[in-house]
Amino acid sequence: MQFIYHFGRYVLFLKRVFSKPEKLRIFIKQIINEADSLGISSIGIVTIISFFMGAVITLQTAYNLEMMFIPKYTIGLAARESVLLEFSSTIVGLILAGKVGSNIASEIGSMRVSEQIDAIEIMGINSCSYLVLPKILGLILMIPAITLISMGVGIFGGWLAGSVTGEVPSSDYIYGIQMAFKPFYIFYGLIKAVVFAFLISTISAYHGYYVEGGSLEVGVASTKAVVVTSIQILLFNLLLTQLLLA
């Protein structure tokens, strides 16, 4: 029953979010601000994690294939497939659910408990649309760039780790990442990332918007937003994989 209640309220919330903005000039300014605060500020953490994950994926694949008579370039191929298909979209999505999702939920939740949202509503402004729509569009606008950076840095991290440790010769790795390459895999990763960006921004905003109580409840809502978003990302990952790759 709780699920049906929240799902219904989430749909009604989205209906209010996707309505005509009050003033286009202010709306565009807000989207740019949100793209900066939610997207650009996440590039650093995504770059660091992607680099190390790419490196670890490469080394673990290399160690596991050591005793087998499998060509070394397979390691590059495996690292590329892992980064493009799963890591840069799904794992980065989960990381952003923690960083950006908690940020959105706590920001909107704090505005709710300190009556700032009421102050917006009193003026006759649709607070859902005013506060949430720029966040959705800002994040969706930035996510393809973040995903592409993650893909590039992840593969580069793999190459560097393989070369420095001597586990994968540079030429083998580069041959491997080019082998049987399907450009669609990049689009597949980007499509998933955009869907995850939508889930992160809307679910987190929903939990923040309907907070009742004080700062303690804002913290609870923020945690809940991250948990629910992460589960939804995993569910949608399964669904999109079946839809796009089957």
Partner 1 sequence: MIEIKNINKSFGDNQVIFDVSAKFETGQTNLIIGQSGHGKTVLLKAMVGLHSIDSGSIVYDDRVFSDMEFEEQKTIRKEIGMLFQGSALFDSLTVEENVRFPLDMFAKQSKEEKRERVNFCLKRVNLENVNHLYPAEISGGMQKRVAIARAIALNPKYLFCDEPNSGLDPKTSIVIDNLIYEITKEYCMTTIINTHDMNSVMGIGEKIIFIYEGEKLWEGDKEEIFTATQKKLNDFVFASELFKRIKKQNQ
- By CB under 8 A, name the binding residues for partner 1: 22-23, 26, 110-111, 114-116, 118-119, 121-126
Whichever of 44 and 124 has its CB closer to partner 1, that residue is 124
Q: How far apart are CA 126 and CA 230, in angstroms?
A: 28
Whichever of 119 and 243 has its CB closer to partner 1, that residue is 119
Whichever of 26 and 244 has its CB closer to partner 1, that residue is 26
Shortest CB 15 distance to partner 1, Å = 12
Cα 16–Cα 110–Cα 49 angle in degrees, nearest 5: 90
Q: How far apart are CA 95 and CA 147, in angstroms?
A: 12
Whichever of 28 and 119 has its CB closer to partner 1, that residue is 119
Shortest CB 3 distance to partner 1, Å = 20
Q: Is the C-alpha dihedral spanning 107, 109, 112, 113 positive or negative?
A: negative
Query: Three-state SS string across 122-151, please?
Result: HCCCCHHHHHHHHHHHHHHHHHHHHHHHHH
Shortest CB 17 distance to partner 1, Å = 14
Whichever of 114 and 178 has its CB closer to partner 1, that residue is 114
Whichever of 24 and 246 has its CB closer to partner 1, that residue is 24
Written as six digits, the tokens of 138 are: 């800002």
Shortest CB 6 distance to partner 1, Å = 17
| Residue-wise burial string across 181-195, b where 16 or more C-beta atoms lie within 10 A, e elsewhere | eeeebbebbbbbbbb
Whichever of 124 and 183 has its CB closer to partner 1, that residue is 124
The backbone region for 38, taken as left when phi is positive above 0, alpha when psi lies in -120 to 50, beta otherwise, is alpha
Residues 158/54, Cβ–Cβ less than 8 Å? yes
Q: Is the C-alpha dihedral spanning 46, 136, 34, 218 positive or negative?
A: negative
Shortest CB 12 distance to partner 1, Å = 13
Shortest CB 216 distance to partner 1, Å = 16
Q: Please count the other Cβ atoms lying within 10 Å of the Cβ belonging to residue 14.
A: 16
Shortest CB 119 distance to partner 1, Å = 4
